Amino acid sequence: MPFLCPDSSSFLFGLKRLADCSAINPMHQVPAIVDGRFKLFESHAILIYICSAFPGVANHWYPSDLSKRAKIHSVLDWHHSNLRRGSAGLVFNIVLAHRDSHHSYPQAVNQAEEILIRSLSKLENFWLKDGRFLVGSSQPSIADISLVCEIMQLELLSEMECNRILSPYKKVVNWIEDTKKATAPHFDEVHDFLFKAQKRIRERMTTEFRKNEMKSKL
Ligand SMILES: N[C@@H](CCC(=O)N[C@@H](CS)C(=O)NCC(=O)O)C(=O)O
């Protein structure tokens, strides 16, 4: 099935190219899919469609049990108005600020970090309180994939920042590892672009940091 997703060359440095993809997603965003004549955007809708349209997807990804399914919708909706605002907001503002030294958004960074910390705490103490995976499940669902991937983008921050933010949340850290293992080897495959972008971003940040240090010594 053809799909649009970021790659290391477009991620954060060339998303403008997505303007060319408006025939698939008029919102000019990724992800988006094409299945025959059917086009769909919005990551959660895509995950639900894939589980529903293709026979052979194991039931735990999107359980047929109505109450289990409703819980998955609940955590997916929570994700977009909480964890995503924090995680994407923080990465976007920090990485942008470092990409272009003329721009810095300290207020946006602080606000995003506050939302992120509140969301990680809810994950630790509520969503992961009853099981290895979200909403008390012993096996992963589409919600685990979606939320873990949201957190994975924190890898674009410096290693120190990433550890400072995540390490207080032991259940969250274990859950990320469990989700990685449950989806191996695909997890690393789909995150390859992220780690390529990480390398470039961290090198850029280090160069900028050294430049600023030199300037302050002059
Ligand atoms: N709610 C959407 C969010 C999609 C989204 O924000 N995509 C970002 C990349 S993660 C994007 O394409 N940004 C480019 C832009 O907005 O110009 C979903 O879950 O699919």
pLDDT tens-digit map of 172-198: 999 999 999 999 999 999 999 999 999
CATH of residue 135's domain is 1.20.1050.10
Beta carbons of 144 and 102 less than 8 angstroms apart: no
CA 177 / ligand 1 centre spacing (Å)? 25
Please tell me the predicted confidence (pLDDT) of residue 104. 60
Has residue 183 been placed in a domain? yes
Please tell me the predicted confidence (pLDDT) of residue 8. 42
Has residue 147 been placed in a domain? yes
Has residue 30 been placed in a domain? no
Nearest residue CA, atom 12 of ligand 1?
A: 29
Beta carbons of 45 and 55 less than 8 angstroms apart: no
Helix (H) or strand (E) holding 14: none
Has residue 43 been placed in a domain? no
DSSP 82: T
Has residue 24 been placed in a domain? no
Has residue 17 been placed in a domain? no
DSSP 33: E
CA 27 / ligand 1 centre spacing (Å)? 8
Structurally, how many domains does the chain consist of?
1
Range of the domain at 77: 63-217
Residues with pLDDT less than 70, the chain: 1-20, 96-104
Residue 178 Cβ contacting ligand 1 at under 6 Å = no
| Full strand arrangement of the beta sheet holding 3-4 | 3-4, 32-35, 38-41
Please tell me the predicted confidence (pLDDT) of residue 14. 40
Has residue 187 been placed in a domain? yes
Has residue 209 been placed in a domain? yes
Residue 15 Cβ contacting ligand 1 at under 6 Å = yes
CA 34 / ligand 1 centre spacing (Å)? 17
DSSP 203: H
Please tell me the predicted confidence (pLDDT) of residue 100. 59
Nearest residue CA, atom 11 of ligand 1?
A: 29
